[in-house]
Amino acid sequence: MDVFIVDHPVAAARLAQLRDEATPPPLFRQALHELSRLLVYEATGDLETNEYEVQTPLGPAPAERLAVPPLLAPVLRAGLGMLGAAQELLPESEVGFIGLRRDEETLEPDSYLTTVPDDLAGRSVLVLDPMLATGGSAEHACRIVRDAKADLVSLVCVLAAPEGIEALEATGLVDQVYTASVDSHLNQAAFIVPGLGDAGDRQFGIQ
């Protein structure tokens, strides 16, 4: 599993806004949208294209289109904040929602929804989830798309913990992780430190 840290001045500035506890939900959502656009842009750099020709006002020109647009798989609820940016870059892509909630006693993911197609053979998938903490939610989501025979599986997240990366790599379910930062560690409540808190609560203001 390859881990790519998007080292870009704009990404760093948006990440700083997300980390700041004083950032209100409207500005948090905006910063998440803008950072997600940068992360998805990097994560799609190797997509295959087909060549064709377009007619400009001055003559024909070579052009390219995506051969097979990737499926976008946001993990609810926090992944919703990344979906809009991904759709702006990939309007051709279908969306498969994966609904997970964390059991606060076991810290394990509890699934309540999936609209991922049953057959993803020959297709790549971008799993969108702001936080890679223990790796439990990412493993659950990526197992769903792997069971559907997805080809290339990439996890796009704002922050990752070393523990989550190690756990996810051990599953063999993910090919690539794109993130803005790998932070220090997880605390006893399985939150990323220094992190940014709960990405869902900070977006929507409802626990």
List the catalytic residues.
102, 106, 198, 201
198: nearest Cα among 25, 40, 10? 25
CA distance 118 to 51: 29
Measured CA angle at 173 (ends 93, 70), to 5 deg: 10
Q: How far is CA 24 from CA 5, 17, 20, 202, 203, in A?
A: 26, 10, 9, 8, 8
Beta bridge partners of residue 29, listed in sequence order: none
